[in-house]
Amino acid sequence: MDALDVLTDLDNVHPFFQPIFSADEHRIIGYEILGRYKQGDTYLSLGPIFLDQAIPEEYRLEIDNIVLTKALKLSLELEQDVLIFINRDADLLMHDDEEEFLHLLLQFSEQGIPLNRLVLEISERNYNGDIEHLDHLLNYFRTYGIKIAIDKLGNDSSHLDRIGQLSPDILKVDLQALRSTQTASSFTDILYSLSMLARKIGATLLFENIEMVYQLQFAWKNGGRYYQGFYLHRPCSSFVDRDILKEKLKQECHQFINYEKKRLEKLYAITETFQVKTQELLNKYKKYQGYNELLQNLAREMDHIAFRMYVCDEDGFQESANIFKSKDLWMMQPEYIRKNWSWRPYFLENIVRMRNERKGILSDLYSDIETGATIRTFSYPLNSTHYLFIDLSYEFLFNQEGLL
């Protein structure tokens, strides 16, 4: 497909619309505008033209504006609460410098599409221009009520500082990485950072490229409010019934809820089991000369469960050596005595919880700093000022339902 062929045949340039569904209403809340070129009986994506840096920006911009104009004309028939997502490459946006683009949006605002229904999806992954100028332009659009979405997230976390600085309304996360076992683990870590940042800045998470039900479940579980992808609905040339998937999404979310509740119940039961077992062992070995002796006794009892144990005070200073399992042998590591761990996320929060509730806490999954393994930690109050930490091995977690 040649750009000049498209420019001389603009009658065959058409907008397609891909629905975006919401988690709270289970219905369509918006459409993303996509460009298509009709060649015979086939509709070809205009994406390759928009992304081809070799094609002059003026050509790409003209085609993009034709797609947008036709799309907005059709969008006049939509209900007033339906959002319209508009893709714009950062380079093309800066080339236009808002003049024609904003003029076009204002024209349709007068015809019945208020600017607060528009979401500008901006991708700046390959943008090499002046970032401050781009930020100024995006903030200028926001003064008109236009929402800003950062697109193409999910492959890396290099844009986190930019996202925090810009504070977009929507973060669009690509779930394509989830299909690869090689990238799924790192993707989950990146997504955790994105979800935390989204919560801090008040942004909504939109998950795209959902092609299978497990991806929808992943998006739901990880705080996604909006969903998009072939599993839900393919792009088409017309709008569809907003409630087309209402019952299906309701049923699937009910299954997700039941699964998550069972998982949480399992975690609660395992925590209670650790609570009882730890208390029994502490009663069994209540006579000890020091914490190092206690840890040696506990290590024998928890050989198939733990790989590291230690005791800290309420301020995070380690009161014992580490007892660490390496190649089936437990060894003492006295160099850890008096190290401080209060800087770790949730450490002091969990100390206060244990002190007030007088019971142990099972942590979330996380990567151990020293071994790199995926682990959980069971923390337990020994008394009002000292706390026992038991790092559970990946092998143990793997063999327990619901712990990974």
CB within 8 A of 163, min separation 6: which ones? Answer: 150, 171, 194, 197, 201, 203
Task: Report how far residue 18's alpha carbon sits from residue 85's, in angstroms, rounded to the nearest whole number.
Answer: 9
Helix axes 246-284, 213-221, angle to 10 degrees: 60
More confident position, 197 or 208: 208
Task: Report how far residue 183's alpha carbon sits from residue 206's, in angstroms, rounded to the nearest whole number.
Answer: 20
In the three-class reduction of DSSP (H, G, I as helix; E, B as strand; rest coil), residue 77 is classed as coil
Total residue length of the chain: 404
Task: Report how far residue 56's alpha carbon sits from residue 284's, in angstroms, rounded to the nearest whole number.
Answer: 78
Provide the CA 131 distance to its chain's centre, in angstroms. 24
Structural tokens at position 83? 């959002």
Residue 182 has pLDDT above 80, yes or no: no
Rg of the Cα atoms in the chain: 27
Task: Report how far residue 404's alpha carbon sits from residue 393's, in angstroms, rounded to the nearest whole number.
Answer: 11
Task: Report how far residue 293's alpha carbon sits from residue 286's, in angstroms, rounded to the nearest whole number.
Answer: 11
Phi, psi (degrees; rounded to nearest 5) at 375: -140, 175
Amino acid at 386: H
Percent of the chain, pLDDT > 90? 68
CB within 8 A of 370, min separation 6: which ones? Answer: none
Residue 155 has pLDDT above 60, yes or no: no
DSSP 8-state class, residue 393: P
More confident position, 216 or 97: 216
Sign (positive/negative) of CA torsion 90, 96, 99, 101?
Answer: negative
Confidence band, pLDDT 50/70/90 cuts, at residue 256: very high
Residue 36 has pLDDT above 80, yes or no: yes
Residue 187 has pLDDT above 90, yes or no: no
Give 389's strand partners: 310, 379
Other CB atoms within 10 Å distance of the CB of residue 217: 17
- In the CATH hierarchy, which top-level class contains the domain 3-233? alpha beta
Domain spanning 277-398: CATH 3.30.450.20 = yes
pLDDT in tens, 330-375: 999 999 999 999 999 889 999 999 999 999 999 998 888 888 888 9
200-210 mean pLDDT: 94
Task: Report how far residue 105's alpha carbon sits from residue 404's, in angstroms, rounded to the nearest whole number.
Answer: 48
Structural tokens at position 188? 């989950």
Structural tokens at position 376? 């959980």
Long-range CB contacts (within 8 A, 24+) of 340-346: 340/315, 340/316, 341/312, 341/316, 342/315, 342/316, 343/316, 344/316
CB 43 within 8 A of CB 36: yes
Phi, psi (degrees; rounded to nearest 5) at 139: -65, -30
pLDDT of residue 401: 79
CB 93 within 8 A of CB 99: no
Domain layout of the chain by residue ranges: 3-233, 277-398
Q: What is the pTM of this model?
A: 0.86
pLDDT in tens, 267-325: 999 999 999 999 999 999 988 889 999 999 999 999 999 999 999 999 999 999 999 99
Residue 48 has pLDDT above 70, yes or no: yes
Confidence band, pLDDT 50/70/90 cuts, at residue 90: confident
226-243 mean pLDDT: 97
Task: Report how far residue 317's alpha carbon sits from residue 342's, in angstroms, rounded to the nearest whole number.
Answer: 8
